[in-house]
């Protein structure tokens, strides 16, 4: 008997009607004599609503309570799915992560699953049960509920597949696969049949919301193949797998863009060893992720300007930290929230010369000014004015022949 893990995202369980459809999908696997393990997200909008409520209660809402609050949305969706399966005459029940338990480590709101006790679920499945498990959460060593970061039900599904040694892990979502660009905002985006973990990880980290980045990392480490497909329409989806199993003659596999980056420029910092470290140390201590960094060459050998990007919701904290840091002497701090990072991603660029030039030339032709650049072996990112982001994705999609 095969074991399949099915994950349903927020839109897929977004209404009572959708939940009835999800129950049908679950039963289609069950009727093919599979053991089925389901991980569900909260109904769409619920987690955002809980976040807003916590903000109204306190600007410094307690971290442990925040996770307890946010995890509650998944409980509702799971009991509705299990209730529907029972209504249809099947043996099913909801499992809240602490009832299993699913053990996590790491900080609240950004924990990672490291162990799942399989005993109770295996017994339940042996008795013919279909477990419906709350995604996005677990329990830490202090027996407090933790959450896995936004979109974390993807990680729950992958770790369930790992611990239950599942034959298949299917991410059901509201698009029918991973596309060359966000299909909701770019009409020429094309579905990718197979993509490597590394490319998917870059696409997800650089803004393609379809998979949570940490979950792709978990899948890569544990060699778990992921199928991404639609819960709305029956169509082949995308397989995320090892690079050895992916063949493509494209130079660029996909294009991602972000909406929530901010640019910070510190003007007139001293140009001497240790200055950049003294700026970034307190930021890292406060878990602020610094992304693209550029330091200008100092004209007089005395002073320089330092520019970097952070997530916009870290902006206020970053301002405070830089202004409070007595080791920093500088002339002026400048912030810009209206920036987007647009990235081209593909293993093909390793063996193809001239990709950087083509990207810059295509943007220049559209009069798009590049503010900051960062590269890795399989991606090139540029920071541009956010009002140009969609135009940039469109022209790069065409330039690298993804429109066809």
DSSP assignment string, 322-381: HHH-TT---SEEEEEEEEEEEEEE-GGGGT-TTHHHHHHHHHHHTTPPP-EEEEETTEEE
Q: Contacting ligand ADP (CB under 6 A), which of 3, 11, 156, 388?
A: 11
Residue 381 burial (CB count, 10 A): 24
Query: What is the distance, to the nearest Å, from the Cα of residue 364 to the centroid of all Cα atoms in its chain?
Result: 30
Q: Contacting ligand ADP (CB under 6 A), which of 9, 152, 237, 346?
A: 9
Q: In angstroms, what is the minimal distance from the CB of 198 to ligand ASP?
A: 22
How far is the C-alpha of 173 from the C-alpha of 228, rounded, in Å?
A: 7
Select 170 or 306, whichever has its Cβ closest to ligand ADP.
170
CB closest to ligand ASP, residue no = 153
Q: In angstroms, what is the minimal distance from the CB of 20 to ligand ASP?
A: 20
Which residue stretch of 7-15, 52-60, 282-290, 314-322 sits at the interface with ligand ADP (rule: CB under 6 A)?
7-15
Q: In angstroms, what is the minimal distance from the CB of 7 to ligand ASP?
A: 8
Which residue stretch of 72-80, 83-91, 172-180, 335-343 sits at the interface with ligand ADP (rule: CB under 6 A)?
172-180
For residue 21, the SS3 value is helix
Is 41 among the residues that bind ligand ASP (CB under 6 A)?
A: yes
How far is the C-alpha of 42 from the C-alpha of 89, rounded, in Å?
A: 24
Is 135 among the residues that bind ligand ASP (CB under 6 A)?
A: yes
Q: In angstroms, what is the minimal distance from the CB of 362 to ligand ADP?
A: 19
Which residue stretch of 103-111, 151-159, 323-331, 350-358 sits at the interface with ligand ASP (rule: CB under 6 A)?
151-159
Q: Among 30, 71, 24, which residue's Cα sits nearest to residue 47?
A: 71
Whole-angstrom CA distances from 103 to 50, 66, 90, 189 are 23, 18, 28, 38
Check residue 129 and report its DSSP letter: -
* Site size toward Mg ion, by CB under 5 A: 2
Q: Contacting ligand ADP (CB under 6 A), which of 65, 167, 168, 174?
A: 174
User: What residue 224 binds from ligand ASP, Mg ion, ligand ADP, none (CB within 5 to 8 A, per partner kind)?
Assistant: none
E strand or H helix at 237: none
Angle in degrees, 0-180, between the axes of helices 16-31 and 63-87, rounded to the nearest 10: 60
Is 151 among the residues that bind Mg ion (CB under 5 A)?
A: yes
Q: Contacting ligand ADP (CB under 6 A), which of 134, 173, 265, 304?
A: 173
Is 153 among the residues that bind ligand ASP (CB under 6 A)?
A: yes
User: What residue 317 binds from ligand ADP, ligand ASP, Mg ion, none (CB within 5 to 8 A, per partner kind)?
Assistant: none
CA torsion sign, 324 to 328 to 332 to 336? Answer: negative
How far is the C-alpha of 92 from the C-alpha of 155, rounded, in Å?
A: 22
For residue 63, the SS3 value is helix
Q: In angstroms, what is the minimal distance from the CB of 29 to ligand ADP?
A: 18
Select 41 or 386, whichever has its Cβ closest to ligand ASP.
41
Which residue stretch of 148-156, 165-173, 324-332, 387-395 sits at the interface with ligand ASP (rule: CB under 6 A)?
148-156
How far is the C-alpha of 404 from the C-alpha of 397, rounded, in Å?
A: 9
Q: In angstroms, what is the minimal distance from the CB of 42 to ligand ASP?
A: 4
How far is the C-alpha of 295 from the C-alpha of 308, rounded, in Å?
A: 9
Interacting residues with ligand ADP between 212 and 271 (CB under 6 A): 254
Decide if 321 contacts 327 (C-beta within 8 A).
no
* Site size toward ligand ASP, by CB under 6 A: 12
Residues 6+ away with beta carbon under 8 Å from 96: 75, 78, 134
Q: In angstroms, what is the minimal distance from the CB of 180 to ligand ADP?
A: 7
Q: Length of the chain, please?
A: 404
How far is the C-alpha of 337 from the C-alpha of 158, rounded, in Å?
A: 34
Is 155 among the residues that bind ligand ADP (CB under 6 A)?
A: no
Select 7 or 358, whichever has its Cβ closest to ligand ASP.
7
Is 151 among the residues that bind ligand ADP (CB under 6 A)?
A: yes
Select 93 or 209, whichever has its Cβ closest to ligand ADP.
209
Q: Which residues bind Mg ion (CB under 5 A)?
A: 9, 151
Q: Which residues bind ligand ASP (CB under 6 A)?
A: 9-10, 41-42, 47, 73, 135-136, 150-153
């Amino acid at each position: 008997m095969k074991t399949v893990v099915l994950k349903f995202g927020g839109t897929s369980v977004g209404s009572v009607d959708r939940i009835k459809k999800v129950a049908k999908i679950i039963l289609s696997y069950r009727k093919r004599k599979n053991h089925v393990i389901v991980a569900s997200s909260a109904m769409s909008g619920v987690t955002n609503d809980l976040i807003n409520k916590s903000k109204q209660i306190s600007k410094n809402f307690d971290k442990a309570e925040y996770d307890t609050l946010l995890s509650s949305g998944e409980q509702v969706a799971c009991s509705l799915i299990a209730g529907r399966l029972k209504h249809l005459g099947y043996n099913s029940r909801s499992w809240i992560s602490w009832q299993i338990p699913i053990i996590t480590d790491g900080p609240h709101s950004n924990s990672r699953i490291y162990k799942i006790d399989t005993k109770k679920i295996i017994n339940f499945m042996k008795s013919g049960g279909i477990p419906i498990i709350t995604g996005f959460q677990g329990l830490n060593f202090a027996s407090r509920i933790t959450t896995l970061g936004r979109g974390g039900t993807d990680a729950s599904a992958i770790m369930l597949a790992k611990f239950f040694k599942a034959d298949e892990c299917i991410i059901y979502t509201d698009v029918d696969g991973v596309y060359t660009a966000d299909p909701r905002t770019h009409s020429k985006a094309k579905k990718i049949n197979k993509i490597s973990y590394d490319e998917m990880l870059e696409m997800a980290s650089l803004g393609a919301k379809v998979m949570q980045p940490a979950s792709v990392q978990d899948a890569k480490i544990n060699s778990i193949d992921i199928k991404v497909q639609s819960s709305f329409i029956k169509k082949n989806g995308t397989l995320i797998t090892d690079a050895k199993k992916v063949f493509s003659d494209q130079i660029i596999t996909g294009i991602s863009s972000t909406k929530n980056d901010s640019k910070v420029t510190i003007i007139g910092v001293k140009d001497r060893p240790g200055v950049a470290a003294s700026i970034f140390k307190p930021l890292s201590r406060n878990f602020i992720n610094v992304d693209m960094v550029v330091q200008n060459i100092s004209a007089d050998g005395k002073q320089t300007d330092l520019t970097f990007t952070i997530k916009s919701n870290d902006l206020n904290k970053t301002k405070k930290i830089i202004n409070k840091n007595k080791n920093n002497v500088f002339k002026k701090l400048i912030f810009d929230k209206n920036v987007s990072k647009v990235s081209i991603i593909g293993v093909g660029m390793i063996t193809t010369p001239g990709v950087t030039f083509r990207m810059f030339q295509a943007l220049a032709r559209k009069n798009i000014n590049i503010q900051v650049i960062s590269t890795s072996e399989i991606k090139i990112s540029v920071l541009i004015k956010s009002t140009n982001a969609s135009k940039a994705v469109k022209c790069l999609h065409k330039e690298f022949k993804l429109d066809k």
